[in-house]
Amino acid sequence: MKKELEKIYNPQVVENKIYQKWEESGAFNPDNLTGEPYSIVMPPPNVTGVLHLGHALENSLMDSMIRFQRLRGKKTLLIPGTDHAAVATQAKVEKILVEKGQAQNPREELGREKLLDEIREFAENSKATILKQIRRMGTSCDWSRLAYTFDDDRSQAVNQVFEKMYNDNLIYRGFKVINWSVKGQSTCSDDELVYIERPAKLYTFKYSKDFPITIATTRPETKLGDTAVAVNPHDPRYQKFIGQIFTAQVGAAKPLEIKIIADEHVDPNFGTGALGVTPAHSAVDFEIFERQKAKNDPIEMIEVIGRDGKMTAQAGPDYQGLGVSQARQKFVHWLKDQNLLEKEEDIIQSVGTSDRFGDVVEALPMVQWFVDVNKKIPHKNKSLKELMREAVSVGHNQDESQKININPKRFEKVYFNWIDDLHDWCISRQIWWGHQIPVWYRDQEIYCGSTAPKGEGWQQDGDTLDTWFSSGLWTFSTLGWPQKSQDLEIFYPTSWIQMGYEILFFWMARMILMSTYTLDTIPFRDVYIHGMLRDEKGQKFSKSLGNSLDPLEIIDKYGCDALRLSLLSGVSPGNDSKFYEEKVESARNFINKLWNISRFVIQTTEKQTPQPSNNLTFADNWIIVELKNLTKETTDHLEKFQFSQAIERLREFTWNEFADWYLEVSKFEDNKPEKDWILKNCLKNLLQLWHPFIPFVTEHIWQQLEEETDLISEKWPETDVSEPTKEAEQLVFNLIKEIIVSIRNLRAENKIDPTKKIKVIFDLKNQTEYFGQDGAKIISDHENLIKKLRTGVSEIEIVSDFKEIKNTVSQTVSGINILIPLEGLLDSEKEKIKIQKEIENLEKYAEGLRKRLANENFTQKAPEKVISQQKESLEKTVADLESLKDNLKKL
């Protein structure tokens, strides 16, 4: 009984059902699998909203990899999860509350608990949406191990690591100038700044008429808090002033006492060569302040900007309460009035803004929590920085098997550069949505622990931790740490991870830091860096540009497989790629092609087909050999994470070899069981190879083949080609294949008279190196097949004698002439033109070859294999040319 499939593949109907079936079968859960462990943790999407195309790309990558490994018989684990995304989520919810008019200032009006409730509700909603979306993308992750950076288990891990670092003195509470977002009323780490360029003015001025040095600044209003002028100690212009103190009345609460100090870091050639030092409102100046303290020559610090972004009382009565830009105008005005302003230049300035709140950050001095990256870890004689570098350069603990490979490799350099100028990491935030810092205070006492110590009056630190602190633990917190879990033992370090280059520092670096420090092992072995998706104009997808695409809409329209295929094709690691709908269309068309191939196979083959005997035709052998090669190459590509190339190869085979050639050839064969077996098995192998990329359609077709298993749990086809086909045989196969195609084409073009007998002649005499003595035999073995092809000729005769050239016209196949008697052809004029053209081409080619062979350098230095190949080529070409010219004369 033969089965019919629907004419068009309809992904909408099957995808959800298949996913449910997979999930229920337990195929996603490694506890049901055996074999070598293979684990991937999913970069947890932020619960700030729904998933976008970038997530679709990530899911496609991860899922293809995990499915590939699962098919290869590994005990595979892909852990799903989400990230509470501290600042990002709170910022988002506050914005929504304000926009909806529910609050003007959410923190003040709602208070900590109520606002947290709002955020929690929002987060839970997006989380639910996100998890649904991940399912729609077909991601085969183990839902029983679902994690969240803010759930109890993960919080436990956070507290544990904090305590460990605290006890190792790697976490400290310090007074420093930090980045402050006025809008968000919180700190940001250096990495959370987004630098934007904007026009600004550079003012050159003196503090007072009798002040001996002019200085330049883009922030005049901060000059109300200046306490020193730093100059280079070797600068002859200013040396004489070093150590002097000048007083200037600029309108601040107290007259400024400016000390002239020497600092090596001042570039004498930059600007006026003198730097006005504002210790409270510049990270650089703060460092000078610290250095002076170390030199026992301290300078003062005056805070003139407050946490509200307004000028403080210390800025003086004229300025107090003004915003910084107002204060700036006023101060510049004053300078002009006093005739102290020397110059005003337009420049382009790069300023840091908060990536989440969007405002220009202020530098303010504050007490915050920091991770010390330079201090030696107890009993290690290494700093966190050194740990981070070692894991990627020579391997953790100098152990080569503990080396992280970043792909593409160039990102290793980027990573090292980043580490080189890494500062201590500010981890405390003044927002509420996040892990509260596990530190307790009572009067002067401090206690670090997840719960309050015994006794009355202990108050927990109100700040929360940077979200990357918890994401940094993700690779092991998801596996059960700090418990001594079995998962940790089996699956750690994880095998592979993928991420975009934009979170290399945020996330990858911190995971490496946390894992090498906490578990004394690397978090993952291979890192695959993917590029960013852009729209067809090359712009980033973003809400503000209005060009963002909803992956679910695309899935609804074209199917999940089409989306996945389009995202993975034509891309190379680390490089951005453009996304547009035509790409998905093309992928959809391919999937439909695969569907139709399957329809054909299912329709034309018998259900029970025996294993073939040795009654195989050339075409059968050919396709089997090619399939083996394909399997090998696909496997190689995937092992090297070359997704795009694997797909390209698969597509080429499926469409050009299998559909356009073998299927066509098979139509003209008798309905014999061997053919059915090959068709079915080729299809099955193809489905297996395609499954990592397009899981739904392959699984659906698999089910239609009435297999008893699910494709997801199948085994990857054998990659070791047990009896490698002899090269000679392959070449003959190739040749015959092309002959068949040529003859069919000739017939299709009505160039062959169907009533005439046709001879196929080709020269085997000079081809012994390629075909061996058996060449002729192999060909005659397959003569039957050729005869059976619907060539429209009554009979084909294969002759291997080149003398039969007379009265023949040639077709070039693989550089070897196939000669077909002229009387068998029609439309000779057309042929003439064709032959002339061919002659031109061949002459050009032969000329190139001759030139190369005439070159002594070439003949002396090139490998013999190459030389003989080229000689061979030339001989063939010359022979072909002659026969072609002969033929042309005859016409």
Partner RNA sequence: GGGUGAUUAGCUCAGUUGGUUAGAGCACUUCUCUUACAAAGAAGGGGUCAGUGGUUCGAGUCCACUAUCACCCACCA
Comparison of 77 and 280: residue with beta carbon closer to RNA? 280
Distance in Å, CB of 353 to RNA, minimum: 12
Q: How long a stretch of residues is the chain?
A: 891
> How far apart are CB 413 and RNA at their closest, in Å?
5
Determine, following the binding rule CB under 7 A, whether residue 878 of this chain makes contact with RNA: no
Tokens of 514: 């946390």
- Shortest Å, Cβ 556 to RNA: 13
Contact 654, 598 (CB under 8 A): no
Coil, helix or strand at residue 493:
coil
* Binding string, residues 349-378; x marks residues near RNA by CB under 7 A: xx----------------------------
Smaller CB separation from RNA, 121 or 847: 847
- Applying the rule CB under 7 A, the residues between 312 and 331 that interact with RNA are none
Residues 19-58 that bind RNA (CB under 7 A): none
State residue 613 phi and psi, 5-degree precision.
Answer: -80, -150
Alpha-carbon gap, residue 163 to 449, rounded angstroms: 6
Q: Is 588 in the site for RNA (CB under 7 A)?
A: yes
Shortest distance in whole angstroms from residue 687 CB to RNA: 15
Q: Which of residues 784-803 bind RNA (CB under 7 A)?
A: none
What's the first-to-final CA gap in the chain, in angstroms?
54
Q: Which of 145, 120, 117, 118 is nearest to 131 (CA)?
A: 145
Q: Give the x-and-dash track for 214-233 against RNA (CB under 7 A).
A: -xxxxx--------------
Helix, strand and coil in the chain, % to nearest 5: 50, 20, 35
Shortest separation between residue 700's beta carbon and RNA, angstroms: 14
Comparing CB distances to RNA, the nearer of 184 and 574 is 574
Q: CA–CA separation, 610 vs 630, rounded Å?
A: 24
Residues numbered 812-831 forming contacts with RNA, rule: CB under 7 A: 815
Closer CB to RNA, 377 or 638, in the complex: 638
CB 727 → RNA: shortest distance, Å? 12
Among the listed ranges 65-73, 187-195, 481-489, 761-769, the one in contact with RNA (CB under 7 A) is 187-195
Considering only 603, 671, 768, 784, the residue that binds RNA (CB under 7 A) is 603
Q: Return the range that interacts with RNA (CB under 7 A); candidates 89-97, 362-370, 861-869, 883-891.
A: 861-869
Q: How far is CA 370 from CA 375, 439, 648, in A?
A: 12, 13, 49
CB 28 within 8 A of CB 143: yes
CA-to-CA distance for 560 and 137, rounded, in angstroms?
A: 6
The total of other beta-carbon atoms located within 10 Å of residue 381's CB is 8
Residue of 748, 766, 777, 840 that binds RNA (CB under 7 A)? 748
Task: Report if residue 642 touches RNA, rule: CB under 7 A.
Answer: yes
Query: In the range 423-442, which residues lie near RNA by CB under 7 A?
Result: 423
Torsional class of 169: left (φ above 0), alpha (ψ -120 to 50), beta (otherwise): left
Q: Which of 103, 414 has the CB closer to RNA?
A: 414
Interface residue with RNA among 3, 234, 265, 336 (CB under 7 A) is 265
Nearest distance in Å: CB 575, RNA:
4
Write the single-letter amino acid at 602.
Answer: I
Name which of residues 462 to 491 contact RNA (CB under 7 A): none
Q: Is 582 in the site for RNA (CB under 7 A)?
A: yes
Least distance (Å) from RNA to the CB of residue 610? Answer: 23
At its nearest, how many Å lie between RNA and the CB of residue 417? 6
**What is the nearest approach in angstroms of RNA to the Cβ of residue 547?**
15
Q: Stretches 167-175, 440-448, 649-657, 780-788: which one binds RNA (CB under 7 A)? A: 649-657
Give the integer Cα–Cα distance in Å for 160 and 167.
11
DSSP string, 203-249: EEE-SSTT-S--EEES-GGGGGG--EEEE-TT-TTTGGGTT-EEEE-
Q: Are strands 193-205 and 215-217 parallel, antiparallel or unpaired?
A: antiparallel
Minimum CB–partner distance for residue 681 and RNA (Å): 17
Based on CB atoms, which residue is closest to RNA, 101 or 863? 863
CB 561 within 8 A of CB 637: no
Q: Does 607 bind RNA (CB under 7 A)?
A: no
Cα R_g (the chain), whole angstroms: 37
Q: Minimum distance between the CB of residue 445 and RNA, rounded to whole angstroms?
A: 35
Between CA 511 and CA 521 the distance in angstroms is 11
In eight-state DSSP terms, residue 173 is: E
The footprint of RNA on residues 104-163 (CB under 7 A) is none
Q: Single out the residue of 553, 554, 535 nearest to residue 545, CA to CA.
A: 535
Query: DSSP readout, 757-814?
Result: -EEEE---GGGHHHH-TTHHHHHHHTHHHHHHS--S-S-EEEE--GGGGTTEEEEEET
Question: Interface with RNA by CB under 7 A: which range of 62-70, 75-83, 96-104, 845-853?
Answer: 845-853
Nearer to RNA, 458 or 858 (CB): 858
Footprint (CB under 7 A) of RNA, residues 269-298? 270-276, 283-284, 287
**Which pair of tokens denotes residue 34?**
């055996």
What's the rounded Cα separation, in Å, for the pair 28 and 720? 27
CB of residue 766 to RNA, shortest distance in Å: 15
Nearest-approach distance from CB 439 to RNA, in angstroms: 27
Please identify, using beta-carbon distances, which residue of 48 and 217 lies nearer to RNA.
217
Site for RNA in 404-423 (CB under 7 A): 410, 413-414, 417-418, 421, 423
Token pair listed for 128: 């639910």
862 sits near RNA (criterion: CB under 7 A)? yes
Residue numbers 523-552 binding RNA by CB under 7 A = 534, 536, 538
Write the single-letter amino acid at 440. Answer: W
Closer residue to RNA (CB): 586 or 725? 586
Q: How many CB atoms lie within 10 A of CB 806?
A: 11
**Residue range at the interface with RNA (CB under 7 A); choices 54-62, 239-247, 569-577, 816-824:** 569-577
Closest distance between RNA and the C-beta of residue 245, in Å?
20
Specify the pairing of strand 524-530 against strand 494-500: parallel
533-534 vs 577-578, strand pairing mode: parallel
Q: Count of CB atoms within 10 A of residue 212's CB?
A: 14
The site that binds RNA (CB under 7 A) totals a number of residues, namely 94
Among residues 700, 680, 679, 704, which one has the least CA distance to residue 691?
700
Identity of the residue, 585 or 781, whose beta carbon is nearer to RNA in the bound complex: 585
